[in-house]
């Protein structure tokens, strides 16, 4: 489990740094009439102030990504230890990386805009409204691939939920039998939704020549729609590699797991490569354009984000990455959404870190409160009546069958949360590995397995449950 987690986070961290470097690292180059997202004449490339700014950004940016590649790798290796420490360090690294990387780009963008204003590098006429090429709009529906190519993938995933051989028997009544294919199905549905949404976005006018506009918009929508379709079929393949052996043979091999992981990586690589290839190809087409549309809307992007009160659109194509969309920050709703998402993300990450701290450092406890028994263990607290206990016994080990985690944590040090076994059924585990004895408490709905690092504590719990007089004495002693 720890090695798998390490591999997953290594790939995740390398992918994050690589994608940021590929998408934002080259903004110092003159492309599509811009440097750092600011429209300037091509002669501005030779200006000494521009050259100094781009050289400084290139040097700082290169060092920044190299340092963060090493930092992300180091953070991933912390997953071999306490998960809480790893999550705190990894979260801080991720937040710092995202904020600083975009901060460096926005700083360079604002410096470039200041240079443009001071040197009066005006490119085209100022624009306040949306420009439309009606000849391209008339054929807009035919530009992308049909979104109905996603339907076979969705149907196959739904069928897997109900008809894959032995899947129900393997997971039993646990909702885990819906969780794995359901997660893949959700991702497939998101890809389909983004395909439809992106296909219906407004066409961008790049040139006074409608043929150029048609070529670029067709290329853009074909690449994006084809990318989502290919990604969806890859997601279906990854689900088949993981779930079919699980359902037929009752287990998956290490090779099958890494094949599943490799396909997920392939999806990330496909999306990244498609974006980069599209930008290069689009730049080639526009570079050959003899009648480019020269407009200057940099005033609305001067801070690094779009803010135009005269534009009715809520989403616009992002200036720094054409694959992204930016909200029109002149609208109050955009500010509210941005603030809510930012605050929500930070609070969610803090909550996740707090949960892992409790799991790592707060030892599960069993206590008797009158006729009730309580087990406290972070977010997996439970309570039940002593009258509901069917049986309690001390064990040397857990049942000799795979106990599948449905909601909880399984590390090299402990098993915590909700698990399921074909013979055992639903169970709650509060187990430190390689520590005996284990107290098993059998209830009508599930079985509780708990042990302790404190010598003699498990035996004391067992005696209290089996001896009512000691139980009441303990409760009276604990009452204030």
d(CA 200, CA 53): 38
Q: Which residues contact 220 (CB under 8 A, 6 or more apart)?
A: 204, 278, 282, 322
Whether the pLDDT of residue 177 is over 80: the answer is no
Q: What pLDDT does 199 receive?
A: 82
d(CA 465, CA 385): 11
Q: What pLDDT does 478 receive?
A: 43
d(CA 276, CA 339): 30
Q: What pLDDT does 475 receive?
A: 41
CB 124 within 8 A of CB 291: no
Give the pLDDT confidence of 191-201 residue by residue, as tens digits: 899 888 888 87
Phi, psi of 385 (to 5 degrees): -85, 145
Q: What pLDDT does 82 receive?
A: 81
Q: What pLDDT does 438 receive?
A: 93
CB 204 within 8 A of CB 216: yes
d(CA 246, CA 379): 29
pLDDT band of 479, cuts 50, 70, 90: very low
Whether the pLDDT of residue 140 is over 80: the answer is no
Strand ranges across the sheet with 391-395: 391-395, 438-442, 447-450, 425-432, 414-421, 404-410
Whether the pLDDT of residue 399 is over 70: the answer is yes
Q: Which helix (H) or strand (E) holds 38?
A: strand 38-39
Q: What pLDDT does 356 receive?
A: 80
Q: What pLDDT does 104 receive?
A: 94
Phi, psi of 142 (to 5 degrees): -90, -5
Beta bridge partners, 447, equal: 427, 442
CB 33 within 8 A of CB 112: no
Give the pLDDT confidence of 5-36 residue by residue, as tens digits: 788 889 889 989 998 998 888 899 988 788 99
pLDDT band of 52, cuts 50, 70, 90: very high
């700083």: which residue's tokens?
107
Whether the pLDDT of residue 450 is over 90: the answer is yes
Question: What percent of the residues of the chain are helix, what percent strand, and what percent coil, each to the nearest 5?
Answer: 60, 15, 25
pLDDT band of 480, cuts 50, 70, 90: very low
| Among 22, 24, 23, 17, residue whose Cα is nearest residue 74 | 17
pLDDT band of 442, cuts 50, 70, 90: very high
pLDDT band of 471, cuts 50, 70, 90: very low
Query: In the structure encoding, which two tokens stand for residue 390, read together?
Result: 């069917």
Looking at mean pLDDT, say which of 160-174, 224-238, 295-309, 366-380 comes out highest: 224-238
| Among 354, 289, 274, 375, residue whose Cα is nearest residue 321 | 274
d(CA 228, CA 42): 35
Between helices 2-24 and 83-118, what is the axis angle to 10°?
Answer: 0
Q: How wide is the angle at C-alpha 475 spanned by C-alphas 469 and 480, nearest 5°?
A: 145
Q: What pLDDT does 476 receive?
A: 38
At 416 the three-state DSSP class reads strand
CB 72 within 8 A of CB 13: yes
Give the pLDDT confidence of 72-94 residue by residue, as tens digits: 999 999 988 888 888 899 999 99
CB 292 within 8 A of CB 125: no
Domain ranges of the chain: 362-478
At 206 the three-state DSSP class reads coil
| Among 407, 410, 452, 412, residue whose Cα is nearest residue 426 | 407
pLDDT band of 2, cuts 50, 70, 90: low
d(CA 87, CA 441): 32
Average pLDDT over residues 257-272: 84
Give the pLDDT confidence of 335-383 residue by residue, as tens digits: 999 999 999 988 988 888 888 887 777 788 898 888 889 998 877 889 9
DSSP state of 283: H
d(CA 269, CA 373): 51
pLDDT band of 329, cuts 50, 70, 90: very high
Query: In the structure encoding, which two tokens stand for residue 99, read together?
Result: 């904020």
Q: What pLDDT does 131 receive?
A: 55
CB 448 within 8 A of CB 440: yes
Whether the pLDDT of residue 47 is over 80: the answer is yes
The C-alpha R_g of the chain, in whole angstroms, comes to 29
DSSP state of 202: P
CB 314 within 8 A of CB 334: yes
């Amino acid at each position: 489990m720890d090695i798998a987690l390490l591999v997953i986070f290594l790939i995740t961290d390398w992918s994050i740094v690589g994608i940021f470097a590929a998408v934002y690292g080259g903004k110092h180059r003159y492309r599509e009439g811009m440097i750092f997202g600011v429209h300037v004449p091509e002669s501005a490339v030779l200006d000494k102030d521009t050259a100094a700014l781009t050289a400084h950004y290139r040097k700082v940016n290169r060092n920044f990504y190299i340092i963060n590649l090493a930092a992300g790798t180091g953070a991933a290796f912390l997953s071999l230890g306490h998960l809480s420490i790893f999550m705190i360090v990894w979260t801080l690294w991720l937040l710092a990386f995202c904020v600083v990387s975009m901060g460096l780009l926005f700083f360079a963008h604002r410096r470039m805009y200041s240079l443009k204003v001071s040197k009066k590098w005006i490119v085209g006429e100022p624009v306040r409204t949306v420009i439309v090429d009606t000849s391209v709009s008339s054929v807009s529906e035919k530009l992308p691939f049909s979104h109905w190519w996603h339907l076979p993938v969705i149907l196959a995933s739904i069928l897997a939920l109900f008809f894959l051989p032995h899947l129900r028997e393997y997971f039993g009544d646990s909702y885990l039998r819906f969780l794995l294919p359901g997660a893949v199905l959700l991702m497939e549905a998101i890809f389909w939704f983004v395909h439809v949404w992106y296909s219906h976005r407004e066409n961008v006018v790049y040139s006074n020549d409608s043929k150029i506009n048609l070529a670029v918009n067709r290329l853009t929508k074909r690449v994006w729609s084809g990318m989502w379709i290919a990604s969806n079929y890859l997601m279906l393949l990854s689900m088949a590699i993981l779930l079919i052996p699980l359902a037929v043979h009752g287990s998956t091999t290490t090779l099958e797991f890494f094949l599943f992981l490799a396909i997920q990586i392939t999806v990330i690589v496909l999306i990244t490569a498609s974006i980069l290839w599209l930008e290069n190809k689009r730049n080639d087409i526009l570079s050959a354009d003899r009648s480019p549309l020269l407009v200057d809307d940099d005033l609305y992007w001067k801070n690094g984000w779009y803010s135009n009160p005269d534009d009715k659109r809520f989403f616009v194509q992002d200036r720094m990455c054409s694959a992204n969309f930016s909200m029109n920050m002149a609208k109050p709703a955009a500010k509210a959404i941005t603030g809510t998402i930012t605050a929500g993300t930070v609070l969610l990450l803090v909550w996740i870190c707090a949960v892992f701290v409790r799991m790592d450092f707060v030892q599960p406890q069993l206590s008797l409160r009158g006729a009730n028994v309580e087990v406290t263990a972070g977010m997996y607290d439970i309570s039940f009546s002593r009258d509901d206990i069917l049986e309690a016994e001390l064990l040397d080990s857990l049942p000799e069958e795979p106990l599948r985690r449905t909601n909880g944590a399984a590390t090299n040090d402990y098993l915590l949360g909700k698990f399921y076994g074909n013979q055992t059924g639903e169970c709650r585990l509060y187990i430190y590995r390689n520590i005996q004895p284990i107290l098993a408490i059998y209830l009508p709905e599930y079985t509780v397995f708990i042990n302790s690092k404190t010598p003699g504590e498990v035996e004391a719990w067992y005696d209290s449950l089996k001896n009512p007089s000691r139980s009441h004495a303990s409760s009276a002693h604990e009452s204030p």
